[in-house]
Structures are given as C-alpha cells and as structure tokens.
Chains A and B, each alone.
Chain A
Amino acid sequence: TIGMVVLDTKGDMAAGTSSNGANHKVAGRVGDAAVPGAGAYVDSAIGGAAATGDGDVMMRFLPSFHAVQEMAKGVHPRVACERALVRIASKYPHFKGGMVCLNRMGEFGGAGHGWNFSFTVQATGMSEPTVVHVDSI
C-alpha cells in the first residue's frame, strides 16, 4: 500500500491510498485503503494522516481519522500518529502498522507499531525526497 497526504501552497490538503491488499486474501476481500478514516483521512483545516499495515485490524479503529482528531487538539503530528496506533495496540498487542501525519502548518511525523517503519517526505526547501526511519513504539 501507498498512503499519501499532501499540503499545497494555498493551504489545500488531500489524502489518498492505493493498494493491492494482502497476499492470498480471501477472494472478495477489501482492505482499509478504500475506507475513509482508516487508510487515510484529511481535513484542510486540521491536517491529514495515512496508515499502512494490517488493514483488517486498522479499519476497525479508523486510525487516520483518530490521528486527525488528535491534531485538532493541537497535538504534534508524530504524537498523533503514535496515539492512534497505541489505541489499536491496546486491543491487538501484536498488531503491525505504520502511520504518517501532517498538519496544516506543514509539520509532520510518523510512527510504527510492531515493526520498524519508514516513510518518505518532501517539503519546500528539500531538493529531494527524504526517507525517515522510525523505531517501533
């Protein structure tokens, strides 16, 4: 899966996903990528988030929506991502997932649970994309 959040110079934000799901999934299965609030969510007045990992678990918790609501409280994007994943882990301690979060000010962060996660970012002032590695929380 790729999950992406963007902020343009006018302050408009968007989020998106694209995925072919899990290997050997039961035919007919749909992952979290198509579910708003699960695979991704965004509100230009607040920020956006995207998630990756076990979609069958994540779509039950809407972690991207959760992270955006955390950012609405003024929480830093990295912490918002962590809180969304911790909420899932409280029910599914073996859960594997990763998230990226971006607020409307252009601040960003990421978090992973159950694995060491990497994300990519490019912002004004960066000539090339940068890959950021985060340890599992």
Chain B
Amino acid sequence: AHAAAVVINTWPFANATRVAFAALTASSPQQHLDAITVGCNRCEVEQCDFTVGYGGSPDTNGETTLDAMILDGTTMDMGAVAQLRRIKAAIHVARAVLHHTSHSILAGDGALEFAKMMGFQEESLVTPYSRALHAEWKQQHCQPNYFRNVVPAQNSSCPPFKPAGWGNDSAMYASSPDEEQQRVQALVTQQNHD
C-alpha cells in the first residue's frame, strides 16, 4: 500500500479539500475519482469565489456555462464537459462522460442532452447576482469585453459586431499587441479567472 494520501487544489477552497480528503479515507475502489468528484462539486455548490458553479461569470448573453474535467491517472480514462448549459453539477456530468461513454469531451447543447439522458436535472444557472453582473456590464457599454478586430469598435460598443477587414493592421488593433495583452491580463483577477 502507498503510504500517503494527498489532496491539493488551486485557491484557498478549504471545504473542497476537506471533503476530497475524506473521500480518500472511505472504502471505495475508486477513491481517487470520488475525491475529485466530491471536491470539485463542493465548489460548484458553494460557488467558490463565484468562479465555480452556477450564478457566476455570465457570458455576453448573460448566461452562465460550465466547463469541467476528470482524469484517471491510472487508466487514463477521462470525461469532460465544455460550455455545459443549464446543469449545475458539471463535474458529475464529466464523470458520467468518463463512465458511460468512450469519448473524452462533450460540449454545448450535446453535453446538456447527454446530461439529461443520464438523469441530471435541467435548471437555470442564472441568479440575481449573475443577472446584476450582466446588467452592470451592459450599462457600461459592455466594457470590458474580449472582442477585437471588429466594427463598431469593441472598446465603446456592445455586441453584435461585424469583422473588421484583415488587410489593414491599424484597423485590426486599437493598440499594440503588447498593450492588448496587458489589457486582457488586467481582466484576470482572483474573482475572474479560469
């Protein structure tokens, strides 16, 4: 038997760590997968920093969508969901992808249909908090956003946009690539990250 059990995760999400570690001490043939599932799910339920789970990080349409993945380091089996809509327990759906398909990643509406087939409940991921975030963003003329090389100018307008021509570099970038990189990185914070 291996001597040590360890759980490590990004950010100070101690409750997620605690429940994951508890799962490692349970008598299950899949302790390691159970630990990942309950640990990540705890953050989905607690909406850790509003960066995990429902009700956070609304997209340009005001919708919250979820990405999740689970990877077994012994068998290299994996399951993931990308841009999962209207299902709260994204990590559980990812684990269902691992167990019940031979695929690796399901995305978008297909992932939603799979989740419903597996018995997950479809429900809105929008909350008053995420609705307020989106409304505030629209009031600020949809600033900041992640568009570039579009018309009208993305730094003062809301989508929808049309593509700017590709032949004229000065039309493509309102700022230098370095300035553009700094602008985007400034958006990344403890409350806004992947």
A residues contacting B by CB (< 8 A) are: 1-36, 39-45, 48, 50-56, 58, 92, 94-96, 98-100, 102, 105-106, 108, 110, 114-115, 117-124, 128-129, 131
Contacts and interface: CB of A to CB of B under 8 A. Distances in A.
A15 B71 contact: yes
Interface residues of B, number: 89
Interface in B1-43: 1-14, 16-18, 20-21, 24, 31-33, 35-37, 39-41, 43
Contacts of A131: 12, 14
B164 interface: no
B61 interface: yes
A4 B39 contact: yes
Contacts of A121: 6-9, 17
Contact of A53 (B44, B72, B133, B194): B194
Contacts of B59: 21, 24-29
Closest 3 CB pairs of A and B: A55-B194, A42-B73, A106-B4
Contact of A108 (B5, B8, B73): B8
Contact of B67 (A5, A31, A102): A31
A50 B63 CA distance: 26
A9 B3 contact: yes
29 contacts: A1-B52, A5-B7, A5-B8, A6-B20, A8-B2, A8-B35, A10-B2, A13-B74, A16-B40, A16-B68, A18-B41, A18-B68, A19-B194, A20-B65, A22-B192, A24-B137, A28-B108, A30-B83, A36-B78, A52-B10, A54-B194, A102-B8, A108-B6, A120-B14, A121-B6, A122-B18, A123-B6, A128-B14, A129-B17
